[in-house]
Amino acid sequence: MKFSVSFRPDAETDLFNLYEYIADEAGPAVAGGYIDRIEAACMALATFPGRGTSRDDMRPGLRTVGFERRATIIFQVSGHEVLIVRVLYGVRDADRILHDLLDD
């Protein structure tokens, strides 16, 4: 069974900001390639949404998965949908930020 994948506005903003940051540091081609790979990783969750680390302790269906050792994709699986909640880049204390995000 294939799941649908969608992005919350905060995750879309994260990707836009990440593109801008990388484009300033390494150029638009590098930034575009990196964002394309993150989006492909997110869309791949449609075929295997159980990957990553379960964070049911914070919210039922919540999971995190690392991406290329620098980014963390936070997503929630509910029914037949994968919702990309946030995409964090270069965060050392993802758990603290994750707690803060869920308190909103």
Looking at domain 4-103, its CATH class is: alpha beta
Above pLDDT 70, what percent of the chain? 87
pTM, rounded to two decimals:
0.87
Reported as a single tens digit per residue, the pLDDT across 71-99 is: 999 999 999 999 999 999 876 566 677 76
Residue type, 101: L
Residue 11 has pLDDT above 60, yes or no: yes
